[in-house]
Amino acid sequence: MIRKIIHIDEEKCNGCGICATACHEGAIDIIDGKAKLVREHFCDGFGDCLPGCPTGAITFEEREAPAYDEAAVKQAQQLKQQEKIEIPLLVDCVKYEIALEKYNRALASIERALDIISVGRSMQYVGELHFLKAQVLSCVQNSIDKNREWQDECKRECFMAYVVFGVMGKKEEKEEIYKYCLEKLNWQITEQMMLSD
Ligand code: SF4
């Protein structure tokens, strides 16, 4: 259908994220430091995101787009609320279980958190949880056997975390993972790997 929807001029966007916060429907994400309308069916065309934009990067346009899906927006908002409450608690719980060397429990908490997030949008936690998983696997497997399979699994988890933080433009977190891989796994993540992913 042809309808009114927002348009984001990426040249003007400075990635501040004000629009993503202002959009109650959750239609906008910040990806690679730029705002993107990633869920067109979440955009109601009212433009709550427009007034706060400091660079005037957002305008309206009339174009072919999927209809606004109120039910999907409500469901996403509920999941987001669930994420907001449960995920920080689960991440704390994982760290506590690691400190107590309760690795199986930590892994179960990580999987539970990733299950909740996979239907929501807390990217920051996705990266953190994959990195925590790599560290837990390293602790568990290193003490059981010395074969290299566990290392491959750790590398996969580290790489996932690295990619997520890369997409989010989180340099410090990327560096921490890079250093961990080098020191603990004797393995170097390269930009080539990122491109071939
Ligand atoms: S508010 Fe404007 S400048 Fe900030 S992220 Fe959104 S579009 Fe970009």
**Ligand 1 center from residue 162 Cα (angstroms):** 25
What tens digit of pLDDT does each residue of 23-51 get?
Answer: 988 899 888 889 999 999 999 999 999 99
Q: Quick one: average pLDDT of 64-83?
A: 90
Q: Identify the pLDDT of residue 194.
A: 65
Locus of tokens 């469901």:
75
**Ligand 1 center from residue 50 Cα (angstroms):** 9
Take atom 6 of ligand 1 and give the residue whose Cα is closest.
19
Q: How far is CA 6 from CA 14, 54, 73, 93, in A?
A: 17, 16, 16, 40
Higher pLDDT, 117 or 194: 117
What count of other Cβ atoms lies within 10 Å of the Cβ of residue 57? 22
Take atom 3 of ligand 1 and give the residue whose Cα is closest.
13
What tens digit of pLDDT does each residue of 133-187 get?
Answer: 999 988 776 554 555 677 888 899 999 999 888 877 788 999 999 999 999 888 9
On whether the CB atoms of residues 160 and 144 are closer than 8 A, the answer is no
Q: Sign of torsion, CA 168 172 173 177?
A: positive
On whether the CB atoms of residues 161 and 135 are closer than 8 A, the answer is no
Q: Identify the pLDDT of residue 146.
A: 55
Q: Sign of torsion, CA 99 102 108 112?
A: negative
Report the share of the chain in percent with pLDDT over 70: 91
Give CA–CA dist 64/171, Å, rounded.
Answer: 37
Report the share of the chain in percent with pLDDT over 90: 57
